[in-house]
A and B are shown apart, each in its own frame.
Chain A
């Protein structure tokens, strides 16, 4: 007798669909979307700070003057005028490229997908930081990549650990396709590679003959006004650089880009056409019009100041309220701080208690593919105003104290990790 599985295709899915299940951690993030909850979990940029009237005017002007182009198919590589403007946007991070070197994508997330698609066969190794961006890990997982985490310190990826990881793969006869790194204002770790570190990492990659995939969505959002120079600024042939307007203009437009050596770029364009034909002309031309008519760099400076104030609120509250044994990174830009909890606390196991206390974070395990990160969590300060951040930390401090009490009672044996995604979707504040 055969029962019903409620999914007649359950035996037809590809192996890469393994793990795509309902998740009790995801379910908790559904609560975090309620206004009573202080969400320090999501990564939504604070688009309320954008000049909405000006953007409305920009869009209206676009439709009035280039409406048919905006609503038509476009070039698979992306709009020529926007690609020219992107070269100017990248100038502060030291990336000098020809517009032909650029492929516009639906957010840099799509660029991550395309790069992985053209380089990685199942089982190929990609080296990533420990921890790493969850969106990248999702892409790598979907292409059945063997992800290896490489240690970080307060200056980011550790060169010695990178060298060791490359050597270990070479010894094991494994192909490392690229090193994925977020050098500036890391998501989730909140640290930034200094120039020396960037040079070391590039040199190691060059010597090993391994490509560097540099993800730089936050590069312009440094709080001290300095803009770190991209690794790509030092080498145009060994580095693929990914950029994004999601944090500097608007995530909802979904416009990002890749800068790649000629041969790679040609394949990226064909892969992009296979995936989506072309990026949204409407979004591209909106960005182009915004860059052309608005003081966009002034807005970036306004974002820097807004996020700096929120970063300060988070750091001050953690300093005042978190119990001994808790430590955290001090970001100099971007959206996130990485918190290490007192010994024995499992951030995943603690999350239900936190949500009951009306505060949310992302457990550290979501930023690893190998079960690391149990003692850590990512706190984001990009969306809630400073007073809400302080209140969220106050609630979280109480939750940590209660969890310590529980650990004191029962010990710190590892709690079973539930299946499914351990991070929120992109629409959580």
Chain B
């Protein structure tokens, strides 16, 4: 089988995507697959048309890769690919829409608001921010409505920290999500469908040294301690796994995904889902795969074979 991993692109997560792509490709080669890694650029479509691979694995993080655009193009070119379709990507990439969908399927989500810069400008930012703080209380999580790797995300503990947090979030997109901060155990649950329906792998518990799972904590080995499986009760683990599968199905995701939660006692609170999970040396999906008894290459090879 010839496999093309698409990684890179022009988003702020380019570097993460390239590292994910190279690592996945190497893992697949160890399984005997014929793998190429290509960037998301103007040479991609001619390449797909002139020498189409058997299967594509899109691993472009951020816009274009995770917002459904790339999936749409692959569909238009009639190229088979691992991962979710365009509609599922689109509604997952927008965290506010994703929260609405999974909430309709019974999952708990943090209350919050997703607003564009324009509404703050038109109505007056101080009044809008004050209303939100009154409604949600402090602390708040402020982050771009679309995007990953915690880029532009800020934990706001005091009201005066909110305006610069808004500026930071809008640096990465036109819309910002303001959410009630949910304290608790932070976990990521990878969901994989190897042909027998989506299965949740053991939850990975995330304990950053700084207390905040920001970009540095995500991509600097040693800055975060991971527990696999998470240090949660069996009932919490079961509930978490069920919630992850529910989110995966509710959002229409396919093949693989990663769903992030905060566990606060009996509450399993959905934060977001990812259609192109990170595959870097410090990423969560590969750790979950290892705990489930898989190598990255074996999982990817099985998914490739299903297409």
Are B207 and A3 in contact, with the CB atoms below 8 A?
A: yes
Are B164 and A416 in contact, with the CB atoms below 8 A?
A: yes
B218 close to chain A: CB less than 8 A: yes
Are A23 and B117 in contact, with the CB atoms below 8 A?
A: no
Are B164 and A410 in contact, with the CB atoms below 8 A?
A: yes
Are B168 and A416 in contact, with the CB atoms below 8 A?
A: yes
> How distant is B306 from chain A, measured CB to nearest CB, in Å?
30
Partner of B152 from the list A10, A23, A352, A413 (CB cut-off 8 Å) is: A352
Please, which residues of chain A bring their CB within 8 A of the CB of B166? Answer: 410
Are B225 and A4 in contact, with the CB atoms below 8 A?
A: yes
Are B226 and A352 in contact, with the CB atoms below 8 A?
A: no
Determine, out of A29-37, A83-91, A227-235, A287-295, the stretch whose residues face the partner at the interface: A29-37
Are B121 and A27 in contact, with the CB atoms below 8 A?
A: no
Cβ contacts A350-367/B at 8 Å (1 or 0 each): 111101101000000000
A414 close to chain B: CB less than 8 A: yes
- Given contacts A22-B215, A349-B171, A410-B120, are A27 and B14 in contact (CB under 8 A)? yes
> How distant is A363 from chain B, measured CB to nearest CB, in Å?
12
Determine, out of B5-13, B29-37, B102-110, B264-272, the stretch whose residues face the partner at the interface: B5-13
Cβ contacts A5-45/B at 8 Å (1 or 0 each): 11101100000000001111011101100101100000000
Cα–Cα distance between A102 and B172 once the two chains are bound (Å): 49
A226 close to chain B: CB less than 8 A: no
Are A24 and B151 in contact, with the CB atoms below 8 A?
A: yes
- Given contacts A24-B151, A31-B12, A413-B164, are A406 and B170 in contact (CB under 8 A)? yes
Within 8 A of B (CB), among A153-207: none
B67 close to chain A: CB less than 8 A: no
Within 8 A of A (CB), among B97-140: 117, 120-121, 125
Are A420 and B117 in contact, with the CB atoms below 8 A?
A: no
Closest 10 CB pairs of A and B: A10-B222, A7-B222, A22-B219, A30-B15, A7-B221, A24-B215, A3-B227, A410-B163, A352-B171, A3-B225
Known: A1-B227, A413-B160. 14 other contacts (CB 8 A): A3-B226, A5-B223, A5-B226, A21-B220, A23-B216, A31-B15, A349-B168, A409-B121, A409-B125, A410-B167, A415-B168, A416-B154, A416-B164, A418-B215
B residues neighboring A (CB under 8 Å): 10-16, 18, 41, 117, 120-121, 125, 149, 151-152, 154, 160-161, 163-168, 170-172, 205, 207, 214-216, 218-228, 231, 281-282, 287
Task: Pick 23 A–B contacts, CB within 8 A, sort by A.
Answer: A3-B225, A3-B226, A4-B227, A5-B223, A6-B222, A21-B216, A21-B220, A22-B219, A24-B12, A24-B215, A27-B12, A27-B15, A31-B10, A34-B10, A352-B12, A352-B152, A410-B163, A410-B164, A411-B125, A414-B164, A416-B168, A419-B216, A420-B220
